[in-house]
Amino acid sequence: MSSQVKGTQVFNDAKRAGTVFSDEAMQTVQKIIKRYPEGKHKSALLPVLHVAQAEFGGWLSPETMDYVASILKIQPIEVYEVASFYSMYNLKPVGKCLLEVCRTSSCWVRGAEDIVNYLEKKLGVKEGETTPDGMFTIKTVECLGSCGTAPMLQCGASFHENLTFEKVDTIIEQYRSQGKQRSYTDLDYKNTL
């Protein structure tokens, strides 16, 4: 089967399975793709994966990655390789709010471990787990470049810095009351990616 026929088939399968970008997301994807010359669409992979992750529930299923491959006219394995390399892409479902707590030096000496323990106790799940209501996942990550305001965590496009237990309470309360999925693309990705 030619790669073009295969791409069409994946696209049709994705459509049947509901893995299809909304019109708005597709416009964004097309805008991203246009930045690169014909035949170099693979260069758009990272930002397109961000859009896909935001669009399809905060993680990249094999179906989503196949769909992205069909849009960029590349092999699915090329998408899997990239998606599995970067920790910012989730290959299994996560909560609507992925709480990424930095555990590297500055944050560590400024109490990151206490923050993780506090989160675990407050949410009733361990690091790497998701709350039963699907709202929060706790994850520890390496330096997020905000060492001067340690300890800190990232949730979607937002940094929460100089964390204290009280701040953690406020963050959880806010996110819970808003109840929506948080993504790296929250900052108007239409213009910034």
Which residues of this chain interact with ligand FES, rule CB under 6 A? 102, 104-107, 143-147, 150, 152
Q: With CA atoms as reference, report the closest residue to 110 among 42, 162, 165.
A: 162
Closer Cβ to ligand FES, 96 or 160, answer by number: 160
User: Whose Cβ is closer to ligand FES: residue 57's or residue 111's?
Assistant: 111
Q: How far is the CB of 192 from ligand FES (least distance, A)?
A: 21
Given the complex with ligand FES, which of 132 and 145 has the nearer CB atom? 145
Nearby residues of 59 by Cβ (< 8 Å), 6 or more positions away: 53, 90, 91, 92, 93, 94
Residue placing its CB nearer to ligand FES in the complex, 82 or 147: 147
DSSP state of 13: H
Minimum CB–partner distance for residue 143 and ligand FES (Å) = 4
C-alpha–C-alpha distance, residues 27 and 49, integer Å: 14
Query: Which of 61/149 has CB closer to ligand FES?
Result: 149
Q: In Å, what is the CA distance from 130 to each residue of 154, 168, 175?
A: 16, 17, 15
Give the dihedral of Cα atoms 107, 108, 112, 116; nearest 10 deg: 140
Structural tokens at position 15 = 């459509």
For ligand FES, the closer of residues 46 and 143 by Cβ is 143
Give the distance, in angstroms, between the CA of residue 170 and the centroid of all CA atoms in the same chain.
23
- Closest contact distance (angstroms) between CB of 149 and ligand FES is 8
Q: How far is the CB of 155 from ligand FES (least distance, A)?
A: 14
Q: How far is the CB of 34 from ligand FES (least distance, A)?
A: 34
Q: Which amino acid is at 10?
A: V
Determine the Cα–Cα distance for residues 13 and 8; give it in Å rounded to an integer: 9
Instruction: Write down the H helix ranges in 102-161.
Output: 105-109, 112-123
Please report how close the Cβ of residue 119 comes to ligand FES at its closest, in angstroms: 15
